[in-house]
Amino acid sequence: MAAAGVLAVAGVVGLAPEAARAGQEARTGQAVRAESGGGGGWVVVRTDSGRVRGRVTDEGRQFLGIPYARQPVGALRWKEPRPVAPWHGVRAATGYGNRCVQTPSWDPGYEKPSHTEDCLALNVYAPEGDAGDAGASRDGGAGQARARADGRRPVMVWLHGGGLTAGAGEDIVPDRFARTTGTVVVTVNYRLGAMGFLASRALDGEASDGVSGNYGLLDQQAALRWVRANIGRFGGDPRRVTVAGESAGGRSVCTHLASPTGRGLFRGAVIESGAYDDCAGRERRQAAGDGTAFAKKAGCPDPATALACLRRKPAKDILAAQAEFDWGPVVGGRFLPVQPAEAFARGGAAKVPVLNGANTDEGTLFAFARFDGRGEPLTAERYPGVLDETYGVGLAERVARRYPLARYPSPSHALAATIGDQLFACSALRLNRSLAGRGPVYAYEFADRTSPPFASLRNRGTDFAFGATHVNEVQYLFKHFGLPTPLNAEQRALARQMTAYWGSFIHSGVPRADGAPTAPDQRTRPGDVLSLRTASAGGTTVDPAVARAHQCSLWDAAVPR
């Protein structure tokens, strides 16, 4: 199964009613607090487009739903992002902007589709007070609250996951992370699915570099430019911006590392579970062919009129037609001249420090969604056939020998191990090797196999053992979907340690935490990985055997040359 299919399959299982209600209550409660002024009143900041009014909370200051580009509606559908139109007066920044066009999913609060194209907004979370008094040491920040002489704080811009077809900046609430680490955090909405990644020959003619299909990623770079122009007014340092993301957000970060148009927009990068498919984009011909097939499916079969026809379609029709297509970046123009792997091999990546990693049990989420979550657990009898379908007969035979059923608690877990190793663990290690020639690269693996399933999986009435699955590390750093995470004492200690590592990287470019090893730099310690574990599992250590544990000799040999 292609990576896009694996990442999309997580959305096919319905959301448990209990989780849906919990997510809605959390979001509604936050909106009410915003309207009432929360725990400390209002604060007004002037941006280059106008003034915005945010609110002061117990964690700091937050400004929600600030437009960073002109909204891509009407004639601007499938256009590169334009500067936002200035406004008069003070604009309320106390509630999240609209989510970009997407289907319902099993994530809390996503029970209904979004058909809204007016969605290019970002959120800013800034600690209160001077940069030197953030209390980072007290709260596990390893003393990283040291500020520049001008008092400005480093900045993290977070790109959400969701397979480039789902999600929003509001999926994490990083206010506690911002306070603890002394960091200004920005979260971003960007165009998704067909709205963000449709390519066609007709659209190529409108693109500034002659290659269409990268609208969602161009949105992200527009947000980074907004940060460069405005973040100083929120206490952030525009010269110390780290771009970070998980899953499709991490893949986006990987793409920006290879994009010449992203140079100078960030000085560090964090990739969480985002190196799948070696960060590959769609070749121009493939993307244009997808666009033609999509137009036919959407009821616009005539190439001469397809673009005008598609622009007249309501968003719900575009959304209905986009299933089963691969929506991702397109290679060939100024934004992404060559595949990221080729750019990295040539030494063409942005020369900034990178923190890159994956989770030990990435694949359990996808195996569960494909089988057990549908009420049809994978059986031993079906296992060989599913390997054939997923990897092809020749490779499947080798996979079956490396992943015998006797080694795993169930056939679903055996398949999950193959998915996680092939898509995530080994691709992350390959990316480390590719990037190590152009600057510092620090490797980690989130390895808390006792971690509670993230919010979308809780209360589903299943005893499926997810372990350290895809997305699970996010709740150790932020409030995932704004919800509390049921961590035990050991896991809370690990969460503080992870916050220290991430905060240290954002501040200094080196991931450190008090009383724990520094993340290994792949330039001097290739293959060594920082294994993030609870104390009873041995604590956080440097593990030199991660590649062997994930069967990377098998998967690396299978990568097309």
What are the catalytic residues? 247, 362, 470
> Which letter, b or e, does each residue of 387-400 get, where b requires 16 or more Cβ atoms within 10 Å of its Cβ?
bbebbeeebbeebb
Alpha helices per DSSP H over 13-59: 17-36
- Could you tell me which residues come within 8 angstroms of residue 72 by beta carbon, excluding any fewer than 6 positions away? 78, 79, 81, 117, 120, 191, 195, 215
- Could you tell me which residues come within 8 angstroms of residue 358 by beta carbon, excluding any fewer than 6 positions away? 272, 273, 275, 420, 424, 425, 427, 428, 445, 446
Q: What stretches of 275-377 adopt beta strand conformation (E)?
A: 282-283, 330-331, 354-359
**DSSP, residue by residue, 495-510:** HHHHHHHHHHHHHHSS
Backbone angles phi, psi at 488, to 5 degrees: -85, 180
Coil vs helix vs strand at 402:
helix
> Which letter, b or e, does each residue of 214-249 get, where b requires 16 or more Cβ atoms within 10 Å of its Cβ?
bbbbbbbbbbbbbbbebbbebbbbbebbbbbbbbbb
CA distances from 40 to 182, 232, 502 (A): 19, 22, 28
Backbone angles phi, psi at 532, to 5 degrees: -90, 105
Cα 406 off chain centre by? 34
Coil vs helix vs strand at 525:
coil
Coil vs helix vs strand at 156:
strand
